[in-house]
């Protein structure tokens, strides 16, 4: 099977353990199950685990991590924590400076933090682990650190300038001592822990070697300007993190709660379910709820990426993160803050960076191999000329070797690549596309087959009764039987029949209700056996039925003796579906396929209208999984399945990339899918792929630019045409440029 281990799901096959509940079906096998039936995960032991699935680490305790210089440092700290006692799993996200830790047994958060701090200090001295507080960015300490760093490096720079003006070696030595002391200490600590080859070691060796051969000015310059560059780099990275986080932070700072006629301004986390909150024009909605007074327009762009205002009236659902545009409204809170849409979005974005993309993992591994190789290269630059050439001066070749070391630092790559992915995820989020990890963002670039669910994905999913036909009963009587037969269902089709009937249903008149999987319903209404479903149900009970029915979803109705008639349900194709297929083709998707439980004529009609490459109808839920598996076997790239995320969980789990449509109101969607399109628009998938391609282009630019500049300067160094000053630019300057380039992904 053409299945990339990087993006396999932790969910299990539906057909491997038959623990999925059955959907009842009419003429189409309802692509959505009833509300009282839910998908159940199986325990069959089949291993389809996602290599990075555990990176989300459900139930983890979160901490903020400060003074983290690069992704390599983050990896060292993460590895050390994962080896510690009582730690089940850990993930340190360099881009968001968040540490996720799951323990095997209970441990107080403060005791755990103190223990983690000791571990971090041993792995990467100077790293600070603090308590997590979503209301702060955790930068107060870093601001203080930056002030002291600025003071220290200003002194070092002044000493260097004095040395340059006075040609005083003691000034150069003092500048080196002031600027290089932390670097040397880190290098020595790392050496004691067996970590020889990092940038601290390289810079210590380069500066010390320059002093040893009498290049006092250049030796101190390397350290002073390296540290100044590191300060700028830290500032650029922290500013980038804050930019991404602030764009994604769509929480309201407060909620105005109405209690006994008195308005109280409260922290959203302290508001209880059932409280009434007031939202004035211009204010952001703090919690999810239901509108109980007033009418207004809401800006939901922060949630869904939809630019047009949404009109709301009494009874409508209001989601946290929306902005009230026009008039005062009263909302009854129906979810506490931790369960609100905005909280779930923030949780998802924070977790996203802990799922490392292939490029990011490659760069981390590359850096570990690259640095020792460059040290070996520098050694050869010094030794080979001494052995092979006559009349060589060891000072000259040692200088070239030391410059070689300065150039070699892989900072530009190990900083800019994870930051670029994080920015890409943030840029997608601004468009209403939630990507659950850098691995999925990268994977979208290689999607060549997209498989769509029909109902609610390519079609509106808002069903209406189009026709009622009966030779035995009046239309009203057949509709009554349909409404009573569907009385226990919350499926959109059932609701459309109930709404058309428009009268209250006396459920005590309904007995022996039974769902027949893949076929329909059997129940007794007023003591009479009634069957509602598709043609398979009619054939099962041996009742001749009307076969030449119009295109649409047909619900046949019969009793034990005879066929009573049918109800035709219609569903319109979404306005953007055709544009979505066209846009996907432009983005390089080769096949657009639709799966449906609906009858073949309906499916084929939709397929023809949208110019799909293939359509498959009359599929049971487990048959959809089987069909996706067949497609995976013939697929060259990756396969994405797009569904509603609630009832398509088995198929979402089986595809390379599961994409949930309009799922921000659904916990099941966020759980099952790898990508959530918050606006109910298939066109957003093409936008997601475009963001992925743009982000990967930026990553490639950073990799090629960094390696090209370093390669060029290294080559010049070997031939004696570069200086340590050029080496500092090739390291620090390239890193800064790469970081700034990575931020373009935020504007995807």
What gap in Å lies between CA 523 and CA 715, rounded to an integer? Answer: 83
Other Cβ atoms less than 10 A from the Cβ of 431: the count is 20
Closest CA to 51 of 92, 3, 85: 3
The answer to whether the beta carbons of residues 317 and 299 sit under 8 Å apart is: no
Distances (CA, A) of 674 to 8, 53, 509, 652, 689: 10, 10, 44, 8, 13
What gap in Å lies between CA 93 and CA 35, rounded to an integer? Answer: 37
- C-alpha 283 chain-centroid distance: 27
- Strands annotated E in 415-562: 433-435, 447-453, 464-469, 510-516, 520-525, 528-533, 553-559
Tell me phi and psi for residue 68, to 5 degrees.
-100, 115
**235 three-state secondary structure:** helix
What gap in Å lies between CA 145 and CA 398, rounded to an integer? Answer: 36
What gap in Å lies between CA 545 and CA 564, rounded to an integer? Answer: 9
**290 three-state secondary structure:** strand
The answer to whether the beta carbons of residues 556 and 412 sit under 8 Å apart is: no
Query: Which long-range contacts (C-beta less than 8 Å, at least 24 apart) are formed by 257-265?
Result: 258/330
At 308, list the tokens. Answer: 């047009």
Sequence-separated (6 or more) residues with CB below 8 Å from residue 238:
139, 142
Other Cβ atoms less than 10 A from the Cβ of 648: the count is 33
Overall size of the chain counted in residues? 748
Segments in 193-298 forming alpha helices (H): 199-212, 216-248
Residues identified as active-site = 453
The helix-helix angle for 199-212 and 169-192 (nearest 10°) equals 140
At 478, list the tokens. Answer: 């057949």
Residue that is written with structure tokens 């846009």 in the block: 583
Residue that is written with structure tokens 């797009």 in the block: 642
Q: Could you say which DSSP state residue 46 is in? A: -
Complete DSSP assignment for 540-593? HTT------PPSSEEEEEEESS-EEEEEEEE-PBPTTHHHHHHHHHHTT--EEE
What gap in Å lies between CA 14 and CA 41, rounded to an integer? Answer: 9
Beta-ladder partners of 524: 511, 529
Tell me phi and psi for residue 6, to 5 degrees.
-65, -30
What gap in Å lies between CA 364 and CA 234, rounded to an integer? Answer: 19
Beta-ladder partners of 291: 331
The answer to whether the beta carbons of residues 501 and 485 sit under 8 Å apart is: no
Beta-ladder partners of 570: 464
What gap in Å lies between CA 429 and CA 431, rounded to an integer? Answer: 5
At 632, list the tokens. Answer: 């995976």
Tell me phi and psi for residue 585, to 5 degrees.
-60, -40
């Amino acid at each position: 099977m053409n299945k990339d281990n990087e993006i396999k799901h932790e969910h299990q096959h539906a057909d491997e353990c038959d623990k999925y509940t059955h959907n009842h079906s009419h003429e189409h096998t309802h692509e959505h199950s009833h509300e009282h039936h839910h998908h159940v995960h199986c325990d069959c032991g089949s291993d389809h685990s996602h290599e990075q699935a555990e990176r989300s680490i459900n139930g983890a305790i979160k901490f903020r991590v400060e003074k983290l210089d690069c992704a390599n440092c983050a990896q060292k700290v993460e590895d050390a924590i994962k080896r510690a006692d009582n730690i089940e799993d850990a993930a340190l996200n360099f881009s968001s400076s968040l540490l996720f830790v799951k323990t095997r047994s209970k441990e107080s958060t403060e005791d755990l933090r103190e223990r983690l701090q000791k571990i971090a200090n041993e792995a990467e001295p100077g790293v600070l682990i603090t308590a997590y507080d979503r209301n702060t960015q955790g930068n107060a300490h870093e601001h203080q650190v930056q002030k002291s760093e600025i003071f220290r490096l200003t002194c070092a720079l002044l000493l260097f300038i004095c040395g340059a003006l006075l040609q005083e070696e003691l000034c150069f030595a003092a500048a080196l001592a002031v600027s290089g002391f932390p670097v040397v200490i880190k290098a020595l600590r790392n050496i004691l822990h067996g970590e020889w080859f990092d940038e601290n070691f390289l810079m210590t060796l380069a500066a010390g070697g320059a002093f040893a051969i009498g290049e006092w000015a250049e030796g101190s310059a390397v350290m002073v300007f390296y540290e100044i560059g590191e300060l700028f780099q830290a500032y650029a990275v922290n500013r980038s993190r804050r930019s991404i986080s602030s764009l994604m932070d769509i929480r309201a700072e407060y909620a105005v709660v109405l209690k006994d006629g008195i308005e109280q301004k409260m922290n959203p986390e302290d508001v209880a379910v059932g409280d009434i909150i007031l939202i004035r024009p211009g204010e952001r909605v703090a919690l999810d709820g239901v509108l109980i007074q007033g009418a207004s327009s809401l800006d939901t762009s922060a949630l869904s990426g939809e630019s047009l205002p949404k009109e709301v009236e009494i009874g409508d659902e209001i989601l946290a993160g929306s902005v009230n545009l026009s008039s005062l409204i009263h909302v009854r809170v129906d979810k506490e803050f931790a369960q609100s849409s905005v909280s779930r979005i923030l949780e998802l974005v924070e977790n996203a960076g802990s799922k490392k993309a292939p490029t990011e993992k490659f760069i981390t591994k590359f850096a570990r191999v690259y640095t020792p190789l460059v040290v070996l290269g520098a050694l050869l630059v010094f030794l080979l000329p001494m052995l092979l050439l006559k009349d060589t001066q060891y000072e000259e070749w040692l200088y070239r070797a030391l410059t070689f070391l300065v150039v070699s630092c892989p900072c530009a790559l190990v900083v800019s690549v994870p930051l670029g992915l994080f920015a890409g995820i943030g840029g997608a989020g601004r468009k209403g596309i939630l990507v659950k990890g850098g691995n999925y963002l990268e994977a979208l670039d290689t999607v060549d087959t997209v498989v769509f669910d029909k109902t609610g994905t390519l079609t509106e999913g808002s069903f209406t009764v189009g026709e009622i036909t009966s030779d035995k009963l009046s239309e009203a009587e057949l509709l009554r039987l349909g409404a009573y037969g569907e009385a226990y269902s919350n499926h959109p089709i059932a609701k459309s029949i109930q709404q058309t009937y428009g009268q209250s249903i006396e459920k005590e008149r309904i007995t022996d209700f039974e769902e027949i999987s893949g076929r329909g319903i059997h129940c007794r209404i007023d003591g009479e056996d009634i069957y509602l479903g598709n043609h398979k149900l009619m054939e099962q009970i041996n009742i001749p039925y009307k076969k030449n029915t119009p295109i649409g979803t047909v619900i046949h109705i019969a009793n034990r003796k005879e066929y009573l008639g049918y109800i035709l349900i219609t569903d319109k194709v979404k306005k953007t579906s055709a544009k979505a297929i066209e846009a996907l083709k432009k983005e390089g998707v080769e096949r657009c396929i639709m799966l449906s439980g609906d009858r073949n004529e309906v499916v084929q009609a939709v397929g023809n209208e949208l110019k799909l490459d293939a359509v498959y109808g009359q599929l049971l839920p487990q048959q959809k999984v089987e069909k996706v598996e067949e497609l995976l076997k013939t697929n060259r790239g990756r396969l994405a399945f797009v569904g509603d995320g609630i009832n398509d969980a088995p198929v979402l789990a089986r595809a390379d990339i599961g994409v949930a449509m309009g799922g921000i109101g659904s916990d099941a969607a966020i759980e099952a899918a790898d990508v959530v399109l918050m606006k109910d628009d298939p066109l957003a998938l093409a936008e997601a792929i475009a963001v992925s391609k743009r982000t990967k282009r930026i990553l490639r630019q950073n990799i090629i630019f960094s390696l090209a500049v370093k390669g060029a300067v290294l080559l010049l160094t070997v031939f004696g045409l570069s200086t340590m000053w050029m080496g500092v630019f090739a390291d620090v300057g390239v890193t800064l440029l790469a970081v700034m380039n990575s931020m373009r992904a935020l504007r995807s």
